[in-house]
Chain A
Amino acid sequence: MRLPRVFFPGQNMERRLTWADALILLGIVALVGFGVQLAKDAPAVVRGPSISLHPSVLPVYAVLSTGRMFLAYVLSVAFSIGYGYWAANSKRASKVLLPLLDILQSVPILSFLPVVLLSLSAILPQKIATELASVLLIFTSQVWNMTFSWYQSLTTIPKDLREAARILQLNKWMQFKTLQLPFGMIGLIWNSMMSWAGGWFFLMAAEIFNVGSRDFRLPGLGSYLQEAAHQGNTRAILYGLATLTLVIVALDQLVWRPLLAWSHRFRLDMVHDEDAPTSWFYDVLMDSSLMARLRRNWIRPMAERFDFWVLRRSQARTDRDRDRAGSNVLAWLILAATVALVGYGGWRAAGLLVQVPIQGWLQVALGILATFLRVSLALALTLAWTIPVGVAIGTNPRLARWLQPLAQLAASIPATALFPVFLAALVSLAGGLNIAAVALMMAGTQWYLLFNVIAGASAIPRDLHFTSELMKIRGWERWKVFLLPSLFPYLITGSITASGGAWNASIVAEYAEFSGRTLKTVGAGSIIADATARGDYPLLLAGTLAMVFTVVMVNRLVWRRLYTLAEDRFRMD
């Protein structure tokens, strides 16, 4: 049983910093600055929806939640394909597009939620604004690793296949359909599954976001669970959790597994594969005569007609416009306009930032430090339990057969959905929110680490195990010379993802409205949430940017170096 290493952010670790990175960071400053400018007009009081706890509303809530996810996912796919295609086909564009992708992957997306919510509700009706903000948030959490995977596929298509496509005179669309899309499909689907699982986390956070007099909640499974926890309604909590689990499992069985089984046909290697992914639902679909008829009578003829329509159009077009001298000028104009806009936005943002008093900055620094410690603690605790358990599962196939599916099920429940439940249990304790915050960070991120440890442990060659047994390497020595070095690359990739997730979690974990009470603890997340509640826009901007920069820097300075070290020194294969 071999598992792949989970690269949640499919990051391009080798890239060097360029001038584009600086431009992009400034661009983020400008964008957040614009958002905060807009947010000033946001209504001071936002009335949220009333959440019913009656079980009969659960199907509606489930549809609402899934609908948001679906919308964001469709957007993500469309964006990924367009963006990756552009980056792979234009050398000039890729100079900006790649660093942008790289930075946005490591930014704590959830920290943007307050700014997005406030700015959208300043210009749009309340309901639409919150819905749109949730979709935007899920989209930004899902899209980057999919884009990166797609871009990577596009740039690694074997030369002979590309040449074959060209010599056979396939037009752009046919190349996309018969070569690029199939070649990128497996990566796209794997990353879609990752993104989708991650998306739940953000959806739940968006559905329950509620600060001070601004209640941005959305009717859905997340808010149902929150409401149930607030009211201490155990029965409703169980109903909500059951529905959520059911939805997740059903989607896994009816959508993702079949897609995975289907995508297996797009692998490039020419040998028969024993470990092909299987799906009962896919088999049912493939065997059904209805599907066969649908494909024969509808899908194939429609596809054919579309292909020929494109063919006729592309022939007509190649006859007409050959010269594209204008595009060069246009590209420079766009670049100049972007730089100007970024510069202006940066300047405006700076104008807001100077309004933050010294105490404000101290508060931000303290908050960043507190959250950093909390994230580190969560990571340390997670490592402490996942390493022994992961090694036990990974080196013991019999145990793995039992525990693996169980762990996968547990991992599929978004941690943010459980947060209100944690809080309800811990609220009466001293420092309850602190414990709950660390617990939420762990709950959201431990699974990546666990799965990576399992993957790492199961990848250790058998003969190494035998050798270490023969040499009587036991106890701590066994960990030091044998297990930990083998696991190191896996631990690092797992930790990168885990720490990113933990930073995200701080936004909802450090500040909470609980049954009419406001609970908060020192931290970067609580500064952002509190500033949102009080309408302290300069502080909101300062907090958000500080968090973004901290995480980007920690990634650059710590994780990347460890990653390079892991890849150079401790790779088994």
Chain B
Amino acid sequence: MEGPTPLLELQNVTQAYGTGAKRFVAVSGVSLTIHEGEFVALLGPSGCGKSTLLRIITGLQKPSEGRVLYRGQPLTGVNPHATIVFQTFALFPWLTVQHNVELGLKARGVPKAERREKAIALLDKVGLDGFETAFPRELSGGMRQKVGFARAMAVEPELLCLDEPFSALDVLSAETLRGELLDLWTSGDLPTKAILLVTHNIEEAVFMADRIVIMDKDPGRVVRDMKVDLPYPRSQKSASFLSIVDTVYAVLAGRTEAEYVEMGTAPGQPGRTRNLPEIDIAGLAIVLELVSQSPTRSANLYDLARELKLDSDELLKLAEAAELLGFATIDEGDIRVTDLGVEFAEADVTERKQLFAARIRRLPIFEWLLDMLEKEEDHEMQWDDVQDLLEREFPSEEAERNVETVVEWGRYGELLAYDDSREVIYLETPEREEQV
């Protein structure tokens, strides 16, 4: 793996959607070089633009700004030397397994006999011999993804892009498939020059890649580029493995900043409105209870994830919420519960709701919404109007998700109520309840 020839280069790539007040930046100023021989993981929370970046890298999408170079040449159109293995497999259900694998070869004009031979050899390699004439719907999820891999490898890509390829699979199939891919990669059997894995799973990235590019959201950007110098095969229990995972957790969880930075600004105000993490409030209580019971009132995030059997993505969202509400602080991959957090963890249901309400009242987005509702005559607003206002801060899907979270948190804290049949959000007040 010496002589790092740059295979792909992103220069200051930015992707924005929409125009005017609703213009939203999905990926901002990303520069990245992938060299021959590298297995790069692109890691980040959902919504950080990693899938967008993958589409830009493969030429499926043209960035709004910046350049994409492949072997030093600007990329025009879809990159013929790259393929993608999709999260959803993206197999053609009306073609047999073999025809699916042959498809890319046929598009390149490879004659039938040669195609056939190659497809059979590849299916053999991934352990699907005997399934050539089966249709994808006859296979299990793991087997379907094997077809996905065989199809991608059939065209002998120089750059193999994997878009969350294991996240739609059950745990066991995912584990097996990861190992098999690594075997192929490390044995040098693949003509592939580099692999790019897009994932939100920290352990997966550390287990597979020799370089991890960590992204964060709002806006999507690269926050860290780190090497993983562990020999293959990697043991997920070794101290060095755990220490790297820990480091990645620390980077992704960040460090609790001053309150005004954490909370952001109200929608419509200058500055960035904080994107609320989508969490289960009961889960938040469980995490806080667990951590507050430890003598130091703190815990390592990765240990916590394993203990609670949570996906890294889910735990990081809970930690983010705890941090935002002032229930915990985060530093270097550790979460520490604050006095407020202990109070919340030890409270009964009613007290919890009161405490929660008091905390979310301080969030600029709640302040803003409650203020607007106060001013409305009936103390109510259409869901769509609130979403519309938020679309000046977020793209529409994100805006909708934020309204959902606001309503859920507001309902839990008994500050807000929502009438589904009329699609209005209204202030929860005593007289209002009497009316209903």
Contacts and interface: CB of A to CB of B under 8 A. Distances in A.
B94 interface: yes
Interface in B139-188: 151, 155
Contacts of B94: 182, 265-266
Contact of A268 (B78, B93, B151): B93
B92 A163 contact: no
Given A161-B90, A169-B78, A311 B95 contact: no
A74 B126 CA distance: 45
B136 interface: yes
Contacts of A312: 109
Nearest to B103: A168
A401 B41 CA distance: 59
B106 A167 contact: no
A167 B137 contact: no
A170 B80 CA distance: 11
A307 B86 contact: no
Nearest to B148: A164
Contact of A304 (B87, B88, B112): B112
B95 A178 contact: yes
B92 A174 contact: no
A170 B99 CA distance: 14
A267 interface: yes
A270 interface: yes
A573 interface: no
Contacts of A161: 90, 92
Contacts of B387: none
B86 A170 contact: no
Interface string A358-381: 000000000000000000000000
B199 interface: no
B83 A168 contact: yes
Q: Is the interface of B mostly helix, strand, loop or mixed?
A: loop
A169 B136 contact: no
A168 B93 contact: no
A168 B104 contact: yes
Nearest to B110: A308
Contact of A178 (B103, B112, B135): B103
B92 A171 contact: no
Contacts of B137: 269-272
Contacts of B86: 160, 163-164
B82 interface: yes
B108 A164 contact: no
A166 interface: yes
A75 interface: no
B103 A267 contact: no
Interface string A459-477: 0000000000000000000
Contacts of A271: 137
B21 to A, nearest CB: 23
B416 to A, nearest CB: 26
A179 interface: yes
Interface in A299-351: 304, 307-308, 311-312
Interface in B93-127: 93-95, 103-104, 106-109, 112
B107 A169 contact: yes
Contacts of B82: 167
Contacts of B95: 178
A168 B107 contact: yes
A275 to B, nearest CB: 15
B60 interface: yes
A304 B82 CA distance: 25
Interface in A169-207: 169-171, 174, 178-179, 182
Contact of B107 (A163, A174, A267, A269): A174
Contacts, number: 68
Of A158, A167, A266, A307, chain B has the most CB atoms within 10 Å of the CB of A167
A161 B155 CA distance: 17
A521 to B, nearest CB: 50
B252 interface: no
B136 A167 contact: no
Contact of A174 (B58, B80, B83, B106): B106
A167 B92 contact: no
A270 B90 CA distance: 11
Contacts of A308: 109
B119 to A, nearest CB: 13
Given A178-B95, A268-B93, A169 B80 contact: yes
A267 B84 contact: no
A166 B60 contact: yes
A171 B107 contact: yes
A266 B108 CA distance: 24
Interface string B67-89: 00000000000101011101111
Nearest to B135: A265
B110 to A, nearest CB: 10
A167 B78 contact: yes
B159 to A, nearest CB: 11
Contact of A163 (B60, B91, B103, B109): B60
Contacts of B60: 163, 166-167
A271 B84 CA distance: 24
Contacts of A304: 112
Interface string B332-361: 000000000000000000000000000000
Contact of A169 (B55, B84, B87, B104): B104
Contacts of A269: 137
Nearest to B61: A163
Given A166-B78, A169-B108, A171-B107, A267 B93 contact: yes
A125 to B, nearest CB: 47
Contacts of B93: 266-268, 270
Contacts of B107: 168-171, 174, 311
Of B89, B106, B155, chain A has the most CB atoms within 10 Å of the CB of B106
Interface string A417-443: 000000000000000000000000000
A180 to B, nearest CB: 11
Nearest to A174: B107
A168 B89 CA distance: 13
Given A170-B103, A270-B137, A179 B92 contact: yes
Interface in A219-271: 265-271
Contacts of B80: 169
A171 B77 CA distance: 13
Interface string A493-536: 00000000000000000000000000000000000000000000
A118 to B, nearest CB: 47
B357 to A, nearest CB: 35
A422 to B, nearest CB: 46
Contact of A167 (B83, B88, B89): B83
Contacts of B84: 163-164, 167
Contacts of A167: 58, 60, 78, 82-84
Given A178-B95, A267-B93, A272-B137, A160 B109 contact: no
A440 B106 CA distance: 55
27 contacts: A158-B88, A158-B90, A160-B87, A160-B89, A163-B60, A164-B86, A164-B90, A164-B92, A166-B60, A167-B60, A167-B82, A167-B83, A168-B103, A168-B104, A169-B78, A169-B80, A169-B104, A174-B106, A178-B95, A265-B94, A265-B135, A266-B94, A267-B93, A270-B93, A272-B137, A311-B109, A312-B109
Interface of B: 55, 58, 60, 78, 80, 82-84, 86-95, 103-104, 106-109, 112, 135-137, 151, 155
9 interchain residue pairs of minimum CB distance:
A160-B90, A164-B90, A168-B104, A270-B137, A169-B107, A182-B94, A170-B107, A160-B88, A266-B94
Given A161-B92, A311-B107, 10 more contacts: A158-B90, A160-B90, A163-B84, A166-B60, A166-B78, A167-B84, A174-B106, A174-B107, A271-B137, A272-B137
